[in-house]
Amino acid sequence: MGEHAEWSIGVQQVAWDAVRLAVLASGSGTILSSMIEQDLPIEVVVVDRQCRAEEVAGEAGVAVVRLTRASFGASFDRPSYTKSLVGVLKERGIGLVAMAGFGTVLSGELFEEYPGRVMNTHPALLPEFKGWHAVQAALDAGVEMTGCTVHIATTEVDDGPILAQEAVPVLEGDTVESLHERIKEVERRLYPATLKAVLEAGGDPGSLVGQPRSTKRPAPWESGGESELIR
């Protein structure tokens, strides 16, 4: 699986490029870039607006579909937009979907068409600090530890089964920006490794739920020792 992660999946491994992977992105493309660096077999990147992620995909020779939102206000037709996105995925035979900073909340049709096969990350140790302001919430709560969660996405935000978590300490003097950046460093390593494990398990994220796994690379803010996955 690579030098940074060991995974005990408990199922027969298959050719990991046999499952077509789509990535949904909206922003700078840093998570997408980390996936590309790990040679994940990305079939297509779908974006909902003009963004740097388009350029990241293009530079790597990955197909890009820009499915622009007609509105960012109250008139936005979420079901119609989701139906169009699902159409793009089905046309390309997509079997696994990875959200990577995608800025549009999608309606239930995506999760009906891809039950248990949509993945996402969250900058906290779920079920703690759900929602858009998880890093601020961790600071406000005064916790000593937060982290990153990779999970199966469902219609309920930040509520799907947990696939992997890694702790990130809250340091004295941390701001939302400094803490979030350290969480992102973990995310850019943990998310691709989890996706790779899912692909090698045949593209079914559920096969990883409850499975033991560990990472052996010390976090960059640590002087030594092991960085531990919580679950």
Give how far Cα 58 sits from Cα of 50, 54, 163, 192, Å. Answer: 13, 6, 29, 19
Is 187:148 a contact under the CB 8 Å cutoff? Answer: yes
> Residue 86: CB partners within 8 Å, gap ≥ 6?
109, 110, 113
List residues with catalytic annotation. Answer: 122
Alpha helix ranges (H) inside 114-215: 134-141, 176-200
* Residue 206, amino acid: G
Check: CB of residue 169 under 8 Å from CB of residue 221. yes
